Amino acid sequence: MHEDVLKVQGLDVFYGTSQVLFKMSLSVRKGETLALLGRNGAGKSTTMKAMAGVIAARRGEVLLHGKSVLGQPSHRIARAGIGFVPEDRQIFPDLSVEDNLLIAIKPGVNGENDWSLERVYDMLPLLAPLKDRLGGQLSGGEQQMLTVGRALMGNPNVLLLDEPSEGLAPIMVQKIGDLIDTLRKVGTTIVLAEQNLHFCLGLADRAVVIDKGADVFVGTIRELNADEDIKQRYLSV
Ligand SMILES: Nc1ncnc2c1ncn2[C@@H]1O[C@H](COP(=O)(O)OP(=O)(O)OP(=O)(O)O)[C@@H](O)[C@H]1O
Ligand SMILES: [Mg+2]
């Protein structure tokens, strides 16, 4: 049997009076990379934020290793093992790269200590020579790397990456792809929100497609890539 690290069931989310998620459901198995695909405004970030506790859900359930985390504040959810890399990155501009990383150190929920500063620099070699640079002086791609590094410092059980390739130059997109590939090879469980199916093809195991706030497809990334109808209807390909 597969072990679900993270499971979302029947999530309804509202912004004010307007509903944006409708019975959204997904599950992520240990060690897999799940792509969360959908067009602009489909509800990918809202789903990620609801899982991370950044926004509240009105109905539904978010289970981490079978235990409900719904309704807990985001810092508690982070401590429980969900590492969130938001689309707007949110690094500390006045702190050095190294201090941005050090401030995020925490053991995993079961005391895991897999990610040291040294290992994060090994995983993200681009950051090591920048360790004394201020966060605010980094390029977009460097900031993206730093945000991933910061999430890893918290020894998460599952890493949520919200459009990590967005707005980056092709060379940085390639580097982010390589990073995700390396992370999954060392067994990291990942949810990767993306508009770009192509970016996910070599990286993800399974995919959930979301449209107008609801999950409309779930399957392997290969099944999705072979499904011209779903791609035409719900993705910009
Ligand atoms: N703070 C907000 N207040 C009101 N509506 C919002 C807010 N944030 C997002 N929405 C709306 O919720 C819907 C889902 O947005 P969301 O950001 O989750 O989509 P997305 O799939 O992440 O899109 P993108 O690919 O552009 O990042 C959209 O219709 C959006 O306009
Ligand atoms: Mg988004």
Domains of the chain: 4-234 (3.40.50.300)
- The answer, yes or no, to whether residue 2 has pLDDT greater than 80, is no
pLDDT confidence band for 227 (50 / 70 / 90): very high
pLDDT band at 1, cuts 50/70/90? low
The predicted-structure confidence for 173-202, as pLDDT tens digits, reads as follows 999 999 999 999 999 999 999 999 999 999
Question: Could you tell me the pTM of the whole model?
Answer: 0.95
- pLDDT over 80 (residue 206): yes
Structure tokens at 11: 């999530």
Task: List the residue whose alpha carbon is closest to atom 23 of ligand 1.
Answer: 41
Minimum CA distance residue for ligand 1 atom 26? 40
105 Cα–ligand 1 center, Å: 30
